[in-house]
Amino acid sequence: MRTGLQGKTALVTGASRGIGKATAVALAAEGANVVLSSRKQDALDEVAKEIRAEYPGVGVLAKAAHVGDPEQAEACVDAAVAEFGGLDVLVNNAGTSPHFGPMTEIEPAAAEKTVQVNQFAVVLWTQLAWKKSMRERGGAVINIASVGGLVTEHGIGYYNATKAAVIHLSRQFAMELAPRVRVNCIAPGLVKTALARALWEENEEQISKYMPLGRLGEPEDIAKAAVFLAGDASSWMTGQTMVVDGGSIIRPSIA
């Protein structure tokens, strides 16, 4: 199945590792130019080097930016448009979870940071992509939420609340930006990333036993879904949330 991404330009936030890196690599594999963004330039440069070596025919731009900083975000989008002439795909992937524990114990600073990175950044970068490029040429926005935005869990309730907001923001933007821009969302289950390490590293085998598909997710599992939502195969989809979780949300209770 052809994706139609050859020669398009995609910007991925949180692209230095995990799901963001895997998504950037997967988009490059389809022939898309990729713009990599995260906080640390040196980490981005390493990813850019890997992509250039593996896919020498695609354009790669690495531009550091704090995802919740409006000036840095605008500079990154401006750089993407200047380098490649426009922006066709935006993947809002960057996320954080500075608090682990009940919501009754979260400190205001941790709550503010979680909202800034997980929730406000989706609004900020989508606004910029729309105003700087997609209003004229159309495009696709893909927001990385979490299956936690659909359920309740111990320890990461506030993180999940922001991801529930991302799911609704995706619907709202889909309505507001149609028909020029499609906006969809991915809700990953437990994926083996550095951000989620505390949730899986010490008991991966035990958790996997309760997963209907028998394993935890890999970043590439989510990247494949992102490529689908970015490309032509999903051209009649907008405002939707794809759950990619190995079946965890439908597993029977073990209580």
Residues labelled as active-site residues? 159
Type of residue at 123: V
Q: What is the distance between the alpha carbons of residues 133 and 18, in angstroms, rounded to a whole number?
A: 27
Cα of first residue to Cα of last residue in the chain, in angstroms, is: 43
Q: CB count, 10 Å around CB of 181?
A: 23
Are residues 216 and 200 in contact, defined by beta-carbon separation less than 8 angstroms? yes
